[in-house]
Amino acid sequence: MIFELNQNSFSKMVEEKAKKNGLDYMMAVLDVCEELQVEPEAISKFISKPIVEKLEVEAMDQNMLPKKTSLPV
């Protein structure tokens, strides 16, 4: 059986690796890329919106991205 890489399969692999190994999502993405022998730059189309959101939260927590602020209502 040939493995077909798509957004769903890639995201599932990242989620499983993050949960199983206690990794943050950035490390899980990089681990999956290494496992599949794919350059991280080549997987942007395979990262789902929920994974992107989790990566953004992690980056903000680590001060790699500015924190989103909301105006008081």
CA pair distance 13, 29, nearest whole angstrom = 9
Residue 66 lies in a domain: no
Q: State both tokens at 30.
A: 């990089």
Residue 11 and residue 50 in contact, taking contact as beta carbons nearer than 8 Å: yes
Domain count, the chain: 1
Residue 68 lies in a domain: no
pTM recorded for the entire structure: 0.81
Cα 30 to chain centroid distance, Å, stands at 8
Per DSSP, helices labelled H in 1-73 are 7-21, 25-36, 49-61
Residue 17 lies in a domain: yes
Residue 46 lies in a domain: yes
Tens of pLDDT along 29-54? 999 999 999 999 999 999 999 999 99
Residue 13 and residue 48 in contact, taking contact as beta carbons nearer than 8 Å: no
Q: Structural domain of residue 11, as residue ranges?
A: 7-61
Residue 72 lies in a domain: no
Tell me: pLDDT of 28 over 90.
yes
